[in-house]
């Protein structure tokens, strides 16, 4: 991207928080864009609130699993850039217009441009209450009745 679209490249940054952030040393040539740091613990939600987009990486074995972290992201109403295999997660994100399944360079660029231009491509009004504990509990109780 630095070579193909330097204007877009100059406008992006990724903050990566992980106890293994030292492993990201191979990205040092992109240090102006990729900013690794140690795990942030309780400040996780504060950082999500300030982000323009949320990056979600899932391994192959989780491609069909909408985990708790996924549902913790939804109330922030930020477009999700999902890096992972096609499956239930990618289908859920794209069918509800919650973000982009990043499958190649162009889908990544399109996602970044949509965020930068504040395009209304994403459904930031998605009803997250359907996934709340009271609603899920009520659904379970109805099934058990």
The pLDDT tens digits for 30-83 are: 777 877 777 888 888 898 899 999 999 999 999 999 988 888 899 999 999 999
In a domain, 15, yes or no: no
pTM tops 0.85, yes or no: no
Q: What range defines the domain where residue 80 resides?
A: 40-144
In a domain, 137, yes or no: yes
For 80-134, how does the pLDDT look when each residue is reduced to its tens digit (9 = 90+)?
A: 999 999 999 999 999 999 999 999 999 999 999 888 887 678 988 888 888 888 8
- Beta-carbon contacts of residue 68 (< 8 Å; ≥ 6 apart): none
- Predicted pLDDT of residue 143: 92
Going 90 to 92 to 97 to 99, the CA torsion angle's sign is negative
In a domain, 134, yes or no: yes
In a domain, 118, yes or no: yes
In a domain, 5, yes or no: no
- Give which of 30, 25, 24 is closest to 10, Cα–Cα: 30
In a domain, 3, yes or no: no
In a domain, 10, yes or no: no
- Predicted pLDDT of residue 119: 67
Contact 36, 16 (CB under 8 A): yes
Q: How many domains are there within the chain?
A: 1
In a domain, 4, yes or no: no
Phi/psi for 79 (5° steps) reads -60, 140
For 76-90, how does the pLDDT look when each residue is reduced to its tens digit (9 = 90+)?
A: 999 999 999 999 999
């Amino acid at each position: 991207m630095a070579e193909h679209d330097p204007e877009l490249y100059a406008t992006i940054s990724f903050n990566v928080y992980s106890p293994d952030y030292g492993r990201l040393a191979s990205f040092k040539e992109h240090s102006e864009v990729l900013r690794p740091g140690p795990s942030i613990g309780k400040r996780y939600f504060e950082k999500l609130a300030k982000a323009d987009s949320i990056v979600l990486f899932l391994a192959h074995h989780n491609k069909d699993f909408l985990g708790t972290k996924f549902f913790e992201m939804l109330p922030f109403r930020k477009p999700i850039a999902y890096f992972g295999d096609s499956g239930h997660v990618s289908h859920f994100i794209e069918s509800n217009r919650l973000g982009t399944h990043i499958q190649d360079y162009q889908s990544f660029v399109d996602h970044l441009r949509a965020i930068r231009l504040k395009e209304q491509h994403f459904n930031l009004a998605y009803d997250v209450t359907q996934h709340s504990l009271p609603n899920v509990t009520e659904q379970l109780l109805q099934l058990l009745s």
